[in-house]
């Protein structure tokens, strides 16, 4: 197991370098705004622009720029400075990270609990009215875009003009350290919106997987031993059927950490998604590079954790 983890970490490190190189080359090849002119602002003097290009290192060869960038990351965890504002990219990302983490991990808890519960109940009563209603609702939620669902939810449950003002704190994010109570009320509705579509997918996955698992020979053997139905379902059925959920869980969390821009925009949450969107509109390459690296890191780490969890959830899985 230790050798497997070390090997996966080394491959993950190589993947981060490749992602950085690809992002670096794309932003240098594609026609984008000149960072030096962005930094110069209204002072569009050729001499000033040339000095800014020299200060930013943009007059060096492409390979030299990439080497210096990667050297700063590995030696000092330095992600560079914003072309637009001059602020440290690391500080900008870390200031926005708590809001995104609050949104993503809270939403993950909601979609796991809701998706697994609905999927298990539907699998135990296939083709019943409850099963058809829950799967039909899941299909609708999967088809609903997040930004549309967020706007409708804000109108109905949070705005002054809505009929049901159940979540008045939604749309005005408050940090956890500032006020835990307002932090919770401001995120309940975003959590539900983030979790809606993913919970529906998880419900359908666990339903189909559990129905197949409950027909296996070892399930009949467990019942023949006199085990209670609840123990058969939870200890034997769900433990094996949950593998497809674990496969996509790490990927979903990692992707959402880097792409929650729609929900963050709708609910005015100052997270990494909003930061990345603003950076793209201003051609602020260092911030985009930093957020892409962070999203890649989350996906890689999440998948390693999921692979390790396989060995504990499913006794048939062994790593050598």
Cα–Cα distance list, 232 to 78, 115, 210, 312 (Å): 52, 20, 12, 18
Question: Do 228 and 106 fall within a single domain?
Answer: yes
Percent of the chain with pLDDT over 90: 0
Confidence band (pLDDT; 50, 70, 90) for 41?
Answer: low
Residue 240 predicted with pLDDT over 80: no
Mean pLDDT score across all residues of the chain: 79
Question: Do 150 and 17 fall within a single domain?
Answer: no
What is the domain extent for residue 193?
A: 98-270
User: Average of pLDDT values for 63-71?
Assistant: 82
**Sign of the torsion formed by the C-alpha atoms of 22, 24, 26 and 28:** negative
What is residue 17's predicted lDDT score, i.e. its pLDDT? 84
What is residue 33's predicted lDDT score, i.e. its pLDDT? 63
Question: Do 13 and 106 fall within a single domain?
Answer: no
Angle between helices 89-124 and 272-281 (to 10 degrees): 130
Specify which residues 88 forms β-bridges with: 81
Tallying the residues shown for the chain, one arrives at: 320
Beta carbons within 10 angstroms of residue 68's beta carbon:
14
Residue with tokens 């692979």, as numbered in its chain: 307
Residue 320 predicted with pLDDT over 60: no
What is residue 211's predicted lDDT score, i.e. its pLDDT? 86
Question: Do 74 and 102 fall within a single domain?
Answer: no
User: Average of pLDDT values for 215-234?
Assistant: 82
Question: Do 110 and 49 fall within a single domain?
Answer: no
Structure tokens at 242: 């949950």
Ranges 23-37, 94-108, 113-127: which has the least confidence: 23-37
Residue at a domain's end among 59, 87, 115: 87
What is the Cα–Cα distance from 279 to 178, expressed in whole angstroms? Answer: 27
pLDDT in tens, 77-97: 888 888 777 788 888 888 888
Q: What is the CATH number of the domain that holds 182?
A: 1.10.3720.10
Beta carbons within 10 angstroms of residue 170's beta carbon:
27
Question: Do 102 and 201 fall within a single domain?
Answer: yes
Question: Do 58 and 193 fall within a single domain?
Answer: no
Task: Note whether residue 319 is domain-resident.
Answer: no
Task: Note whether residue 257 is domain-resident.
Answer: yes
What is the Cα–Cα distance from 207 to 121, expressed in whole angstroms? Answer: 8
Question: Do 114 and 152 fall within a single domain?
Answer: yes
What is residue 313's predicted lDDT score, i.e. its pLDDT? 63
What is residue 164's predicted lDDT score, i.e. its pLDDT? 62
Question: Do 140 and 233 fall within a single domain?
Answer: yes
Please state whether the predicted TM-score (pTM) of the whole model is above 0.85. Answer: no
Confidence band (pLDDT; 50, 70, 90) for 236?
Answer: confident
Number of domains in the chain: 2
What is residue 1's predicted lDDT score, i.e. its pLDDT? 67
């Amino acid at each position: 197991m230790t050798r497997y983890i070390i090997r996966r970490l080394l491959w993950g490190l190589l993947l981060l370098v490749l992602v950085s190189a690809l992002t670096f080359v794309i932003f240098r090849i594609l026609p984008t705004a000149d960072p030096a002119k962005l930094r110069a602002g209204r002072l569009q003097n050729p001499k000033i622009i040339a000095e800014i290009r020299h200060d930013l290192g943009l007059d060096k060869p492409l390979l030299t720029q990439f080497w210096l960038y990667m050297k700063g990351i590995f030696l000092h965890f330095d992600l560079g400075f914003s072309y637009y504002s001059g602020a440290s990219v690391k500080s900008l990302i870390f200031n926005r990270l708590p809001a995104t983490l609050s949104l993503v991990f809270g939403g993950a808890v909601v979609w796991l609990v809701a998706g697994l519960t609905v999927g298990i109940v539907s699998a135990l009563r296939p083709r019943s009215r409850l099963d058809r209603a829950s799967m039909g609702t899941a299909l609708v939620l999967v088809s609903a875009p997040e930004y549309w669902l967020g706007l409708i939810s804000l109108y109905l449950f949070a705005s002054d003009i809505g009929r049901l003002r159940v979540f008045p704190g939604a749309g005005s994010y408050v940090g956890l350290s500032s006020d835990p109570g307002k932090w919770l009320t401001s995120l309940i509705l975003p959590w539900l919106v983030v979790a809606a579509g993913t919970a529906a997918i998880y419900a359908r996955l666990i339903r189909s997987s559990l129905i197949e698992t409950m027909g296996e020979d070892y399930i009949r053997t467990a019942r023949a031993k006199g085990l209670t139905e609840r123990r058969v379902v939870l200890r034997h059925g769900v433990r094996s059927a949950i593998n497809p959920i674990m496969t996509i869980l790490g990927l979903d969390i990692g992707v959402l950490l880097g792409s929650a821009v729609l929900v963050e925009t709708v609910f005015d949450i100052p997270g990494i998604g909003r930061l990345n969107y603003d950076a793209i509109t201003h051609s602020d390459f260092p911030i985009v590079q930093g957020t892409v690296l962070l999203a890649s890191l989350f996906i890689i780490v999440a998948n390693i954790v999921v692979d390790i969890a396989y060995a504990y959830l499913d006794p048939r899985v062994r790593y050598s």
